[in-house]
Amino acid sequence: MLFAPVSILVSLMCDLAVGHAVHDRLVSNKSDVSNNATYPNYRAAAYFVNWRRADARAVCFCECFTHHRRSVHFPGDSWDEAGSNLYGCLKQLFLLKKVNRKLKVLLSIGGSSYSANFAVPASTDAGRSAFASSAVALVANLGLDGLDINWEYPQNDADAVNMVLLLKALRESLDGYGDSLSTPYRFQLTVASPAGASYYQTLHLADMDPHIDFWNLMAYDYAGGWSSVTANQANLFSSTSDATTTPFNTEDAIGYYIGKGITPNKIVLGMPIYGRSFAATRGLGQPFDGVGRGTWQAGVYDFKALPVSGANESYDNTTGSSYSYDAASKELVSYDNARVAKQKAAFIKRRGLGGAMWWESSADKVGSGSLIHNVVAVLGGAGGSGLEGSPNLLLYPNSSYDNLRSGMPDSGSAAETASSLPCSSGSMDHINRLHHDSFYHYQLSALLTQLFSRH
């Protein structure tokens, strides 16, 4: 009986600066060492989503990863390679791991669309065991470094207890596989965790904590089209002048987690790379009627499209927030700009948090306007020396894919592209290229399609 959960994204736990001597990191598989050493520096994590594609091609679960499906090839891939081989974005991510040995790729399971499927399998020993074994099998087969669980959200105490037990089963399965390797490796297990009080107060945080490596705090979506008035969607602090503009705040959420025994350096602060729109409004804290057209979804704009033409941008350092407002169209958009990003980076350092996380990488700007790089510049310092530096894994002897088992020797497109990027760009710039290549883009949503219902 097989059970495997649906993936809606791949998360990247990585050093986002490749560095000046990138080819010095092109080490052999034999250089993989146990990653039990302590690496106290900041984490930088970004979600690479499966559905942000440039074309409408559909892909299937199995054959699309092998040499039989030509549509998943990237430049540099062989058209007549023997055997059963891994291609598409998963191959490109593995090649980036070879270039940047600090880059780790985690499969994130769940999300708002699929989280209703967690409760049943998490409620029994057999369900948790099948979930864990099938999820870890994907890690071993696809060249991944761990798992991220995004259950939005456990609804009651029974769900919360089962969440703890599910994480325990996953931790044991990951450790069992890691210990079975010729050189033991600790695979990462993380959770995407809520910043809303009604959700985090339901969780058994202290019981969850021993099983996970860090918490990806989803400190955004504090306001949106569901709100009664316009408000900030990702503010650090509450407003002392108009509480309606900050219905939630990040400082309170972090304080609650720490109060439940979570050490600050395990809390990774999540930030949005998008804006929430409010239409037909007179400004912040005011009634509105509907939402703007957005970039890919009504009411949601990619950060790279902001501020909308004609809008004026405002920044408030007292709440750690920013927004734009167009007096002519009467549209307000709440989002983090570069000044807020830098303020949040300083907040991370001041509070001793574990780093930064973003949803999601394809929506960012490039160059000096990038939210990711503005934060990494503060946390990472010169050459990225302030970022977490434990090594990733390149040895996957149990994979069904011939090229992954052999370490993908003589494969080049991602590695060559990444090595040619400026040191301030690195892996994330190439990851965004995987999003936008209109011919070669390959959708990762096929990874686990319908597997929540497989029994």
pLDDT in tens, 47-82: 987 665 443 222 222 333 344 444 456 777 777 888
pLDDT of 34 higher than 50: no
Q: How far apart are the first and last CA of the chain?
A: 6
Higher pLDDT, 435 or 104: 104
Second-level CATH architecture of 7-273+337-453: Alpha-Beta Barrel (3.20)
Residue 207: its pLDDT value, please? 98
Strands (DSSP E) contained in 361-455 are none
- Report the C-alpha gap between 171 and 132 in whole angstroms: 8
Taking the alpha carbons of 239, 341, 299, 220 in that order, is the dihedral positive or negative?
negative
Residue 427: its pLDDT value, please? 54
3-state secondary structure of 47: strand
Residue 413: its pLDDT value, please? 56
- Across residues 299-309, what is the average pLDDT? 98
Residue 8: its pLDDT value, please? 31
The ranges assigned to domains in the chain are 7-273+337-453
Q: Which helix (H) or strand (E) holds 302?
A: strand 300-302
DSSP labels, 161-211: HHHHHHHHHHHHHHHHHHHHSSS----EEEEEEE-SHHHHTTS-HHHHGGG
Instruction: Let me know if 388 is a catalytic residue.
Output: no
CA 263, chain centre distance (Å): 21
pLDDT of 417 higher than 70: no
Answer for the pair 146, 174: CB distance below 8 angstroms, yes or no: yes
The pLDDT tens digits of the residues spanning 80-127 come to: 888 999 988 889 889 999 999 999 999 999 988 889 999 999 999 999
Given the residues 81, 152, 313, 416, select the one marked as catalytic: 152
**Could you identify the residue written with the tokens 């994330």?**
428
Residue 329: its pLDDT value, please? 98
What percentage of the chain exceeds 70 in pLDDT? Answer: 76
pTM above 0.95, yes or no: no
Answer for the pair 34, 183: CB distance below 8 angstroms, yes or no: yes
Backbone angles phi, psi at 385, to 5 degrees: -65, -20
Residue 48: its pLDDT value, please? 85
pLDDT of 438 higher than 90: no
- The letter for the amino acid at 387 is L
List CB contacts of 60: < 8 A, sequence separation 6 or more: 69, 446, 449
- Report the C-alpha gap between 443 and 58 in whole angstroms: 8
Q: What is the dihedral of CA 33, 35, 39, 42, to 10 degrees?
A: 110
Higher pLDDT, 358 or 77: 358
Burial class of residue 428, CB neighbours in 10 A (0-12, 13-18, 19+): buried
Residue 76: its pLDDT value, please? 73
Name the average pLDDT for the chain: 82
Residue 422: its pLDDT value, please? 35
The pLDDT tens digits of the residues spanning 231-286 come to: 999 999 999 999 999 999 999 999 999 999 999 999 999 999 999 999 999 999 99
